[in-house]
Amino acid sequence: MTLGAVFGGLQSDGAALAEAITALPEADAVSLPLLGAEAIDALVAESQNLRYRPARPVIGSGDKRVWQDCEVSCAVPGDGALAACAAALEGVLTEALGLLGPPALSEGFAVNDLIVQRYPRGSGGITPHRDHIAYRGLISVITLTGRCRFAVCSDRSGSDARAVAAPPGWLVLMRGPGLYGRTDRPFHFVDRFETPRISVGLRYDRRLVS
């Protein structure tokens, strides 16, 4: 079976994602099933062959410090399963945005930034943080393996934490700047790793647009 066929039938369609997008201004993050077993297997197989580097243990300074305990890879082949997944997700998100009126985004959207993160069992995860302001509109994270707590919260101390379901095959969708005119970004974190986790972050990075 071709990669196009594997990723041609996502478990949540444009209508389901449109409903999820409309919930984001209030919820900050929502999740829903996205990938079947065959798609997950293809992504896991490709992710195991990537070249990883340790994430910087601490980024930021002072009261804006963020601790990370994972490995990351940005060297994703342009013709493999991860690229096919990104194209399929971009397609269904574009469909979802087209169903909404008035428009949810005032600027363009595309999945142009892909990062794979690998966490060992017992990882410290990533402490409460906000994504870079250049990541616009919609932030997507797909879990491939493992179980942990993915949560949104009110601040860097993790206040008012609310867990968002993120089992393998599920998409977590968060709002980014520009969605429904909002300029703020939700704090979120991952911790409590019961098993090793692999996840894929798919974003629109405005810095990459010429």
Closest to 185 (Cα-Cα) out of 117, 143, 136: 136
Residue 73: inside a domain? yes
Token pair in block for residue 128: 């409460």
Domain that holds residue 146: 3-205
Sign of the C-alpha dihedral, residues 4, 9, 14, 20? Answer: negative
pLDDT by position in tens, the chain (length 210): 566 777 888 999 999 999 999 999 999 999 999 999 999 999 999 999 999 999 999 999 998 999 999 999 998 999 999 999 999 999 999 999 999 999 999 888 999 999 999 999 999 999 999 999 999 999 999 999 999 999 999 999 999 999 999 999 999 999 999 999 999 999 999 999 999 999 999 999 999 987
CA atoms within 13 A on the CB side of 55: 22
Token pair in block for residue 137: 């509109």
**CATH number of the domain residue 103 falls in:** 2.60.120.620
- Could you read off the pLDDT of 169-195 as tens digits, one per residue? 999 999 999 999 999 999 999 999 999
Residue 12: inside a domain? yes
Residue 91: inside a domain? yes
What's the number of domains the chain is made of? 1
Residue 210: inside a domain? no
Residue 51: inside a domain? yes
- Could you read off the pLDDT of 29-43 as tens digits, one per residue? 999 999 999 999 999
